[in-house]
Amino acid sequence: MSTRVLTGITTTGTPHLGNYAGAIRPAIQASRQPGIDGFYFMADYHALIKCDDPARVARSRLELAATWLAAGLDTERVTFYRQSDIPEIPELCWLLTCVTAKGLMNRAHAYKASVDQNAAKGVDPDDGITMGLFSYPILMAADILLFNAHKVPVGRDQIQHLEMARDIAQRFNHLYGREYFVLPEVVIEEEVATLPGLDGRKMSKSYNNTIPLFEGGAAALRAAVMRIVTDSRQPGEPKDAEASHLYTLYRAFSTPAESAAFRAQLEEGLGWGDAKQALCERIERDLAPMRERYQDLIANPGRIEEILQAGAQKARKLATPFIAELREAVGLRTLGAAQATGKAARKSGKSARFVSFRDDDGRFRFRLLAADGQELLRSAGFDNPKEAGALMQRLQAGAADSLRADGLAYAAVLDGEPVAHGPAAADAAQRDALIEQTRQALAALGG
């Protein structure tokens, strides 16, 4: 079975060297691994939250697409698309919005940071905060859940959003009684390069300390590298390679042998000017052929559009039937289909099943549902989802004799402790019937 990995980059500016080394290059390398089903998209709806300059958004979409293609993304192997070309994404966003607690959004880091900034200024807490910023995590959840991605590589600042996507997915699964969504796993790429900019801080457009990737050609690359801040040590004086931003940048583009040689030269007294020239030459070896492809693509945007439309068509082959299934789940059915609903229809073709979910208190639970959707057992809460999963497996694997009457209700008891409880009955006869129904459901699941 392949693992679906999903990565998106917001279209708010021109890609720089840090974007390439930190996100684009590792994503392309990962897409070439066997067993990986890669989904790569340009998050242009997200761009509208951060940027109100239409020309900049439009230009960034072109430049970012050209960058991915020039850097070697194989669009025959992966699914490459623009977020705004998939209408199922905003539709799913609304379905998820309707099951997401406002309190969850109140805890989002970006929203809280904006509120804190307003408080420091002495203005209204929500001054200047749009619903786009407030609901950003739900749109991100829709990006991920529409394609049921198994793994999502993100920076540490995005971990909370992945946790929210899991919470939202669990809530939807719980409300509608089926595992519609895979719970995505966060992937933190510890080895991925975080490149320093001209001033030593993380390379970022926010700091205006970036090194251009393709724009401006080799001359712009060299001009930026020559502005990198170094210490005052003169040629001939040994340099501290580990403390040098030049060495960090060089290492991100070189083989271990090359970086070791460069380090030795610095420690032997290589001058900063010569070191910067060596860095330019090493980076240029990688970028020159890609830059040529990039410039050709920028000059032929129609080619890029064809590739993106093909990618959107490929993505929608999955998205369209899935959103139809979700519409059915929430009751947005055609009138003919609506006539077929009811208990008998729900029973048809279904069997008893376990459903796991995360409750509003943040704890993990599971339910045992009968074929008609009736709840037969609801577990206690667990801090660790693995605990809930392990008990679910034990019940499914042959613990049908664990059921015990508890007044007019009943419980599943393992190792002397009740781990799940059944509903209260009207009388003892109904309780015993429910216990027998639950026992049969567990036996059928144990198969």
8 Å CB contact between 105 and 137: yes
Q: Furthest-apart CA pair in the chain: how many Å? A: 94
Q: Compute the Cα dihedral for 381, 382, 385, 390 and give only its sign.
A: negative
Burial class (CB in 10 A: 0-12, 13-18, 19+), 318: middle
- For 197, residues 6+ apart whose C-beta sits below 8 A from its C-beta are 18, 203, 204, 207, 209, 210, 211
d(CA 358, CA 366): 8
Annotated binding site for ATP: 10-12, 18-19, 155-157, 195, 202-206
- Give residue for tokens 């890029």: 304
Q: How far is CA 31 from CA 37, 78, 111, 120, in A?
A: 7, 7, 33, 44
Annotated binding site: 10-12, 18-19, 143, 155-157, 195, 202-206
Q: How far is CA 181 from CA 74, 166, 174, in A?
A: 27, 9, 10
- For 9, residues 6+ apart whose C-beta sits below 8 A from its C-beta are 19, 23, 24, 42, 43, 64
d(CA 222, CA 238): 24
- For 168, the token pair is 């939202």
Pairing mode of beta strands 417-421, 364-369: unpaired
Query: CB-hemisphere CA count at 13 Å for 38?
Result: 22
The contacts found for 390-395 with CB under 8 angstroms, 24 or more apart, are 391/366, 391/419, 391/420, 392/354, 392/356, 392/366, 395/368, 395/419, 395/420, 395/442
- Stretch (H or E) spanning 318: helix 301-330
8 Å CB contact between 359 and 369: no
d(CA 223, CA 190): 30
Over the Cα atoms of the chain, what is R_g? Answer: 27
Annotated binding site for L-tryptophan: 143
- For 443, the token pair is 């036996």
- For 375, the token pair is 């709840």
- For 128, residues 6+ apart whose C-beta sits below 8 A from its C-beta are 114, 118
